[in-house]
């Protein structure tokens, strides 16, 4: 095990590399030609323009003002300066709340670290258990500060148990406060002044097919009957996936056309030629510009036809719709209630933000959803525990013998010494690394297959799975040696009694490993994040080869986004390590603190200046974050039970089991107490907001505002065709004469539903004129 000195050296190296990253960032960000890489958010908001518009030529690319280099760490206080409300306004609630996760880490671990260092470290250090052990086992200084230094069956262990209680209560207290704050932030955000279409809109899925009526008519009739006072309008969902594909294809061709035209304008001598075959490698040679112009024309025609088809063909209308109401109250009622006798039909839920909708999944029927969920659960189980099997076989293939067997003609090449070394040394590792890099993408595809309807829920599901995968394949595998499959085998074969013991014993031994891990992944990794090497290189490549207009330059920027599905699960590992080692090896805590502090500043800077959130889910992810911190608490308590039972203090188990029960109870309590704020929308709030709005603007007509809020993004172009299409869509939804026989026989519309007869609903609420 490492001594304090070793750790110090490692810390110095990692601090140095982190420092180098920060320094490189500080220098690069001051160069004007990098401005769009490090401040894209401001460009997207239209608050910043290219600094290259004036001044000397050199100044356009390099910052020559040496004074600015002296203040190279200036970005840190700048990042911290923006107050939270402004941050919410600037970057959205999701980002602001995401930052609070790091703050939560600081709030939890600063007091824990102080208490642990002032109580546990002296208690551990003043023992001599390790000195008394055999001298040939070199025990490090770090171990002297840890629980390993306390002798077998010592009464001092009760300090650790009391501390475990104290840490649990403190963590739970902070978690509860935080949940409360964020729930009220969310409600405030949802009920904020700004009117948003999703406040009035409900997503209806699984509209039952009706032989007499189209989906649109069916939806309109259903809601006119069942929500007579509040129903306003609706938009059916079209299956425009093919259309979207065609439009994307046309855009790509257009890009190429632009490229060739640029090329031609630079060099008027020879017209650019190209081959029509695969990747332009073979096939007929044609004039590139002409070819692309004709291709684009062809595609435009196809797109028009497809658009026509989408509008006219009833088969392209999916059995789902966005239904808008006259008031927030009406939408809240509809989203929270069951509509039909069959609970799998007319499923209603809050509509996600228009940007947040994942259009492809809106039409999956209920039974298929249930089956997909089962398949994905099983697939994820196999992915977690058996992913090493295909990787091992690919690794075998990637070995010298494997390659020679598959491709004997490569033999002379492979036998070369240098290439042999590369294959033997790197290939197997690269296969695993590639898998881990693609894992979030794989998990995202799995979530998409499962049928979630909003980007935010896709990311949340992928994040949960990534967390579980990390827990098993990073944490458990690091603690107890052996692959995940070995673990599974062990845990099935060992008794419920022994599992905590296996983990508990290994925990103190792995402290130095995890300290190193934190320094590499948490310190240097976070510092590398701010440098944004990949977007930097790509931007300059694009800038050099493709960009010709200001718009192109805008498109060349890749601000990226927070990436909740990868960032949050990785971050949770630090909570887990901190809570587990708080009572065992408090030495680890300062390293965690530095991580949380550094990451907070870095991500605050990134959120303010770089990331461009694609959607806004109003912090819908917080229950997951909360749940995982509690899971980390429970894991830490179970590990402590196991550790204590090997330290001769099995008598303490009931106390720690009681702590586990209390923690789980706290989780359930919080779930019931705060989670509704993230799932439902209280009627009181909705009514208050409605009343306020009506008082301010009594003549408000919501219908035009909501009519086209939820149109497939492909129809949201700005050319004339789209306008025309909109008009058609509108007309289509407006004319809903009843065709069905049976409906004609239903009793007169109810008296409560009053004026709103089954024809066109009035846009103005019927009682709005006093």
Q: Which residues bind a second copy (CB under 8 A)?
A: 184, 187, 222, 225-227, 229, 326-327, 329, 332-333, 336-341, 343-344, 346, 366, 370, 374, 378, 491-498, 661-662, 665, 668-669, 672-674, 676-677, 680-685, 687, 690-692, 694-695, 698, 746-748, 750-752, 754, 765, 767-770
Structure tokens, 748: 């007169």
Name which of 527 and 639 has its Cβ closer to a second copy.
Answer: 639
- Angle at 668 (CA atoms; ends 666, 672), nearest 5 degrees: 115
Structure tokens, 666: 């706290």
Name which of 704 and 747 has its Cβ closer to a second copy.
Answer: 747
Name which of 432 and 499 has its Cβ closer to a second copy.
Answer: 499
Structure tokens, 497: 């009694």
Residue 656's CB is within 10 A of a number of other CB atoms, namely: 24
Of 211, 396, 319, 327, residue with least CA distance to 683? 327
Task: List, in sequence order, every residue forming a beta bridge with 233; answer none if it has no partner.
Answer: 324
Of 216, 208, 209, 215, residue with least CA distance to 341? 208
Three-state DSSP string of 48-66: CCCHHHCCCHHHHHCCCCH
Buried b (16+ CB within 10 A) or exposed e, 453-471: bbbbbbbbbbbbbbbbbbb
| Shortest Å distance, C-beta 754 to a second copy | 5
Name which of 338 and 424 has its Cβ closer to a second copy.
Answer: 338
Q: What angle do helix axes 427-450 and 366-386 make, rounded to 10 degrees? A: 160
The CA-to-CA distance between both ends of the chain, in Å, stands at 81
Name which of 500 and 586 has its Cβ closer to a second copy.
Answer: 500
Q: Are 551 and 42 within 8 A, CB to CB?
A: no
Residue 132 DSSP code? H
| Shortest Å distance, C-beta 339 to a second copy | 5
Q: Are 495 and 566 within 8 A, CB to CB?
A: no
Name which of 147 and 190 has its Cβ closer to a second copy.
Answer: 190
Residue 403's CB is within 10 A of a number of other CB atoms, namely: 17
| Shortest Å distance, C-beta 224 to a second copy | 11
CA–CA distance, 644 with 505 (Å, rounded to integer): 9
Buried b (16+ CB within 10 A) or exposed e, 481-499: eebbeebbeeeeeeeeeeb
Name which of 14 and 324 has its Cβ closer to a second copy.
Answer: 324
Give the three-class secondary structure for 532. coil
Question: Kind and range of the H or E element at 363?
Answer: none
Residue matched to tokens 């408090």:
586
Name which of 345 and 582 has its Cβ closer to a second copy.
Answer: 345
- Angle at 521 (CA atoms; ends 517, 524), nearest 5 degrees: 120
CA–CA distance, 387 with 30 (Å, rounded to integer): 44
Give the three-class secondary structure for 317. strand
- Residue 160's contacts (CB-CB under 8 Å, 6 or more residues apart) are 120, 123, 147, 150, 583, 584, 640, 644
Q: Are 755 and 762 within 8 A, CB to CB?
A: yes
| Shortest Å distance, C-beta 672 to a second copy | 7
Give the three-class secondary structure for 231. strand
């Amino acid at each position: 095990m490492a001594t304090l000195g070793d750790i110090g050296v490692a810390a110095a190296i990692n601090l140095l590399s982190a420092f180098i990253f920060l320094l490189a960032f500080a220098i690069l960000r001051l160069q004007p030609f990098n401005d769009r890489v490090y401040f894209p958010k401001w460009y997207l908001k239209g608050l910043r323009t290219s600094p290259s518009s004036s001044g000397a030529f050199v100044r356009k690319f390099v910052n020559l003002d040496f004074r600015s280099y002296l203040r190279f760490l200036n970005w840190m206080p700048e990042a911290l300066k923006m107050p939270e409300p402004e941050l919410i306004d600037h970057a959205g609630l999701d980002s602001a709340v995401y930052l609070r996760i790091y703050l939560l880490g600081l709030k939890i671990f600063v007091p824990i670290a102080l208490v642990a260092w002032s109580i546990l470290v002296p208690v551990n250090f003043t023992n001599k258990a390790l000195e008394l052990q055999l001298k040939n086992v070199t025990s490090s200084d770090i171990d002297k500060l840890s629980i390993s230094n306390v002798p077998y069956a010592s009464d001092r262990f009760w300090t650790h148990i009391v501390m475990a209680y104290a840490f649990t209560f403190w963590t739970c207290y902070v978690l509860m406060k935080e949940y409360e704050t964020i729930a009220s932030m969310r409600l405030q955000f949802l009920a904020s002044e700004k009117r948003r279409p999703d406040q009035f809109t409900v997503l209806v899925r699984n509209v039952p097919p009706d032989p007499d009526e189209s989906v649109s008519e069916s939806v309109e009739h259903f809601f006119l009957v069942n929500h007579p006072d509040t129903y306003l309008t609706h938009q059916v969902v079209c299956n425009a996936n093919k259309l979207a594909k065609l439009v994307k294809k046309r855009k790509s061709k257009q890009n190429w056309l632009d490229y060739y035209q640029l090329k031609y304008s630079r060099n008027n001598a020879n017209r650019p030629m190209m081959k029509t075959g695969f990747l332009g490698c073979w096939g007929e040679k044609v004039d590139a510009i002409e070819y692309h112009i004709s291709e684009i024309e062809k595609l435009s025609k196809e797109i028009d036809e497809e658009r026509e088809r989408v509008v006219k063909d009833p088969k392209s209308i999916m059995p789902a719709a966005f239904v808008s109401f006259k008031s927030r109250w009406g939408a809240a009622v509809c989203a929270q209630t069951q509509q039909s006798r069959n609970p799998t039909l007319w499923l209603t839920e809050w509509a996600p933000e228009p940007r947040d909708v994942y259009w492809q999944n809106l039409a999956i029927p209920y039974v298929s959803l249930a089956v997909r969920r089962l398949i994905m659960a099983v697939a994820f189980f196999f992915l977690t525990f058996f992913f090493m099997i295909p990787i091992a076989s690919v690794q075998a293939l990637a070995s010298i013998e494997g390659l020679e067997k598959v491709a004997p003609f490569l033999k002379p090449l492979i036998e070369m010494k240098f290439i042999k070394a590369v294959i033997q040394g790197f290939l197997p590792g690269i296969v695993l690394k590639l898998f881990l890099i693609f894992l979030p993408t794989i998990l995202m595809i799995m979530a998409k297959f499962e049928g979630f309807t909003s980007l935010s829920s896709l990311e949340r599901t992928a994040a949960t799975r990534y967390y579980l995968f990390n827990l098993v394949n990073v944490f458990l595998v690091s603690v107890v040696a052996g692959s995940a499959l070995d673990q599974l085998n062990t845990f099935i074969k060992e008794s419920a009694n022994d599992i905590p013991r296996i983990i508990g014993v290994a925990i103190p031994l792995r402290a130095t490993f995890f300290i190193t891990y934190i320094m590499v992944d948490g310190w240097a990794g976070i510092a590398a994040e701010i440098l944004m090497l990949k977007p930097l290189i790509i931007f300059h490549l694009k800038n050099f080869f493709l960009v010709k207009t200001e718009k192109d330059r805008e498109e060349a920027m890749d601000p990226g986004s927070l990436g909740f599905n990868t960032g949050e699960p990785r971050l949770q590992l630090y909570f887990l390590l901190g809570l587990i080692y708080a009572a065992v090896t408090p030495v680890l805590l300062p390293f965690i603190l530095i991580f949380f502090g550094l990451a907070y500043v870095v991500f605050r800077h990134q959120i303010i200046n770089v990331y461009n959130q694609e959607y806004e889910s109003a912090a819908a992810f917080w229950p997951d974050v909360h749940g995982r911190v509690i899971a980390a608490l429970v894991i830490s308590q179970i590990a402590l039970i196991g550790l204590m039972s090997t330290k001769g203090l099995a008598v303490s188990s009931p106390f720690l089991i009681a702590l586990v029960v209390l923690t789980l109870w706290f989780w359930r309590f919080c779930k019931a107490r705060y989670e509704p704020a993230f799932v439902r929308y209280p009627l009181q709030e909705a009514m208050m907001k409605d009343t306020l709005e009506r008082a301010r603007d009594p003549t408000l007509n919501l219908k035009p505002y909501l009519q086209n809020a939820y149109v497939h993004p492909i129809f949201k172009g700005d050319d004339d065709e789209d306008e025309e299409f909109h008009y058609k869509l509108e007309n289509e939804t407006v004319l809903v004469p009843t065709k069905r026989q049976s409906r004609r026989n239903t009793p007169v519309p109810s008296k409560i539903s009053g004026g709103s007869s089954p024809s066109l609903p009035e846009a103005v609420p019927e009682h709005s004129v006093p």
